[in-house]
């Protein structure tokens, strides 16, 4: 009696196309960034100043501070003989979020030796020009991060659905298809791109969560100036952790499936898609083996038992 498990043939997995996919992705991102930069430059220069967007994410700094605020800084953070200070009021303008002012105080030590850390105090200002030491949620960074990611998602989805390809995939002869060999519709392509760029969305959410916590250990501005006078330097450990977690997430989400290849990356497996060469995508889908009627399959054991009894009867010696 034949063993069905022994008759199973090994399944041939689709090729990784790792370097082709990496190069195609790099080309697509470069083209997308170039188009965004060109569109931003055109909008910023073509529109008159009155209806123009609020500065289009520009920063302008004035190297001075109001006299009252400067005196407060001098009294709370007196300089040592070999130090000098620069105060600047910077104005950040972002599209759709108006303008925000913040104070930037920098203290350098002479002579500059590239070893001694520079002390920089950056703190937001309210409408009256007073320092704001409490945590300010970065809603603008969250919305801009999500908006930029979704713009990339929509662009990639439009060029991956209904038989279309991005410029990178066209150059390197790749195409996104379903597991059945068909071209994905827009809904499937959109779901795939959202899952692909989900680490970017998580990064924006994590950066917003960090902004909910105070940037400095005290909310008293005078006490904060005294801490800087005693040599306090803000730590970037939260930013380092944020970029570290983001890097690990990207490595696990994008690169780990290629190390242990099972035919698809994670987001392709969820969306029932795969990336194949253009030659493979152009091949007609082979029809599966012809299935016999259900009643025939149900009667197969009965017919088999009859054949076995007939063979046993013929082998009986007379």
Of 293, 258, 300, the C-alpha closest to 15 is: 258
Instruction: Output the pLDDT for position 94.
Output: 67
Of 145, 141, 260, the C-alpha closest to 198 is: 145
CB burial of residue 121 (10 Å; 0-12, 13-18, 19+) = buried
User: 274: which strand partners?
Assistant: 177
Instruction: Output the pLDDT for position 189.
Output: 93
Instruction: Output the pLDDT for position 309.
Output: 59
- Based on its alpha-carbon atoms, the radius of gyration of the chain, rounded to whole angstroms, reads 32
Q: Token pair of 184, please?
A: 């994905």
Instruction: Output the pLDDT for position 260.
Output: 84
How many whole angstroms separate alpha carbon 188 and alpha carbon 194?
Answer: 10
How many whole angstroms separate alpha carbon 252 and alpha carbon 247?
Answer: 9
Instruction: Output the pLDDT for position 6.
Output: 47
Instruction: Output the pLDDT for position 55.
Output: 40
For the chain, residues with pLDDT lower than 70 are: 1-12, 44, 46-57, 94-98, 111-117, 281, 283-318
In angstroms, how far is CA 23 from the centroid of its own chain?
A: 17
In angstroms, how far is CA 56 from the centroid of its own chain?
A: 22
What is the length of the chain? 318
φ and ψ at residue 220, rounded to 5 degrees: -95, 120
How many whole angstroms separate alpha carbon 89 and alpha carbon 40?
Answer: 26
| Helices and strands in the chain: count of H runs, count of E runs | 13, 6
Instruction: Output the pLDDT for position 115.
Output: 55
Q: What is the pTM of this model?
A: 0.70
């Amino acid at each position: 009696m034949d063993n069905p498990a022994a008759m199973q043939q090994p399944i041939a997995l689709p090729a990784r196309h790792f370097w082709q996919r990496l190069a195609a992705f790099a080309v697509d991102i470069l083209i997308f960034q170039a188009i965004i930069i060109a569109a931003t430059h055109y909008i910023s220069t073509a529109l008159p100043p009155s209806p123009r967007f609020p500065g289009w994410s520009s920063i302008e700094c004035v190297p001075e501070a109001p006299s009252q605020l400067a005196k407060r800084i001098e009294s709370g953070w007196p300089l040592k003989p070999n130090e000098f200070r620069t105060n600047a009021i910077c104005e950040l303008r972002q599209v759709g979020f108006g303008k925000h002012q913040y104070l930037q105080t920098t203290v350098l030590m002479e002579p500059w030796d590239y070893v001694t850390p520079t002390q920089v105090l950056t703190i937001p200002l309210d409408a009256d020009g007073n320092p704001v030491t409490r945590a300010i949620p970065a809603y603008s960074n969250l919305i801009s991060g999500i908006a930029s990611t979704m713009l990339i998602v929509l662009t990639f989805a439009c060029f991956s659905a209904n038989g279309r390809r991005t410029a990178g995939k066209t150059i390197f002869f790749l195409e996104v298809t379903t597991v059945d060999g068909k071209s994905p519709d827009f809904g499937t392509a959109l779901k795939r791109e959202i899952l692909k760029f989900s680490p970017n969305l998580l990064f924006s959410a994590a950066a917003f969560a960090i902004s909910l916590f105070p940037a400095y250990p005290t909310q008293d501005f005078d006490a904060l100036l005294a801490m800087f006078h005693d040599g306090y330097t803000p730590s970037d450990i939260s930013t380092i952790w944020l970029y570290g977690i983001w890097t690990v997430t990207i490595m696990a989400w994008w690169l780990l499936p290629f190390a242990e290849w099972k035919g698809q990356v994670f987001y392709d497996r969820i969306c029932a898609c795969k990336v194949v060469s253009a030659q493979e995508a152009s091949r007609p889908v082979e029809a599966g083996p012809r299935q016999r009627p259900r009643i025939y399959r149900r009667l197969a054991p009965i017919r088999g038992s009859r054949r076995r009894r007939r063979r046993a009867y013929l082998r009986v010696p007379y």
